[in-house]
Amino acid sequence: MTPAGLRDLALAVATEAGARVAARAGAADLRITTKSTATDPVTEVDQEVEALIVSSLLAARPDDGVLGEEGADRPGTSGVRWIIDPIDGTVDFMYGIPGCNVSIAAAVDGTVVAGVVVDPLHGDTFAAARGEGATRNGHPIRCTGVADLGLALVGTGFGYDPVERTRQAAVLAHLLPRVRDIRRVGAAAIDLCWVACGRLDGYYERNLKAWDWAAGALVASEAGAVVGTVGDRPLPASLPEATIVASGPALFGPLRDLLDAAGELP
Ligand code: LIP
């Protein structure tokens, strides 16, 4: 199947999953448990939506592999592996805040070739296939051409570990007086898609998992953005964690240098 075919399958599955997410966002009766820390939640909807996505993808392509935030892990034999975040931005989802999203990427032999991010509460669907550009709700999108850090609107996010957050706060304190402003949406996939469509000039975040960035990074790069790491490592989908930087080409070097100066580590 071509990258466009994989994107279209992801689009159909993520659209159905996004409707489930929208129907339960902010519901008072969500069953919530925690993962890495007391502030790292998972709901029964994360698990149900992951199961729905995996069964739909494997019904269409039974030999594929899957990797999901909520535990799906199957190697597959076709060379295609789906990387799934059933609800990226689970805290936003719990509170009913737009930005919580369904993120699905397809990697072929470790390279992401298709990505879809559905943000149902904003009514945004971002999609990309490698070499074919990126769209929001079917319309082509491009990143901004901002080059001046002082005029750059920069998104970021914070992990769940308090020790990590202390370090992230120090980096943020270094950045804040040197950029236009900072935004914290609560979902990495949306930050990357917002770089893609010009709602942010740049984005960085420490220690993202592949399911957080795989789909959004392809959307951003297909919209003309540079997506990399602070330490300039490559971005295979199998990388367990990565500190991601994304922006239009003119801003990328200055933003990465600023993060280096702020003590952000690869
Ligand atoms: C979220 C990320 C976000 C980060 C949050 C959280 P989750 O993913 O997308 O960028 O700042 O702390 O990790 O856990 O909601 O799928």
Per-residue pLDDT of 5-24, as tens digits, reads 999 999 999 999 999 999 99
CATH code: domain of residue 119: 3.30.540.10
Per-residue pLDDT of 152-197, as tens digits, reads 999 999 998 999 999 999 999 999 999 999 999 999 999 999 999 9
Domain final position from 93, 122, 140: 140
Q: Is the CB of 46 under 6 A from ligand 1?
A: no
C-alpha–C-alpha distance, residues 50 and 211, integer Å: 12
Token match 């000039």: residue? 201
- Regarding whether 131 and 70 lie in a shared domain, the answer is yes
- Regarding whether 155 and 131 lie in a shared domain, the answer is no
- Regarding whether 164 and 66 lie in a shared domain, the answer is no
- Regarding whether 183 and 73 lie in a shared domain, the answer is no
- Regarding whether 250 and 132 lie in a shared domain, the answer is no
pTM of the predicted protein model? 0.96
For the record, the structure tokens of 155 come out as 């998104």
Q: Is the pLDDT higher at 100 or at 159?
A: 100
Q: Is the CB of 88 under 6 A from ligand 1?
A: yes
Q: Is the CB of 158 under 6 A from ligand 1?
A: yes
CATH code: domain of residue 194: 3.40.190.80
Domain final position from 140, 165, 200: 140
Closest ligand 1 atom to Cα of 157: 11
Domain count of the chain?
A: 2
pLDDT of residue 181: 98
Widest distance between CA atoms in the chain: 51
Q: Is the CB of 89 under 6 A from ligand 1?
A: yes
C-alpha triplet 58, 217, 166: angle, nearest 5°? 110
- Regarding whether 97 and 127 lie in a shared domain, the answer is yes
Is 52 among the domain residues? yes
- Regarding whether 224 and 178 lie in a shared domain, the answer is yes
Domain final position from 116, 140, 164: 140
Q: How many residues does the chain have?
A: 266
Is 266 among the domain residues? no
At residue 241 the predicted structure's pLDDT band, cuts being 50, 70 and 90, is confident
- Regarding whether 117 and 8 lie in a shared domain, the answer is yes
Is 222 among the domain residues? yes
- Protein residue whose Cα sits closest to atom 11 of ligand 1: 157
- Regarding whether 245 and 175 lie in a shared domain, the answer is yes
Instruction: Answer whether 210's CB lies under 8 Å from 183's CB.
Output: no
Q: Residue 224, SS3?
A: coil
Average pLDDT value for the chain: 94
> What range defines the domain where residue 48 resides?
3-140
- Regarding whether 158 and 135 lie in a shared domain, the answer is no
For the record, the structure tokens of 54 come out as 């995996």
Q: Which of 84, 88, 102, 119 to mutate to test the pocket of ligand 1 (most atoms within 8 A of CB)?
A: 88
- Does 239 score more than 90 pLDDT? no
- Regarding whether 186 and 84 lie in a shared domain, the answer is no
- Regarding whether 132 and 71 lie in a shared domain, the answer is yes
- Does 238 score more than 80 pLDDT? no
CA of 32 to the centre of ligand 1 (A): 16
Rounded to the nearest 5°, which phi and psi values hold at 143?
-75, 170
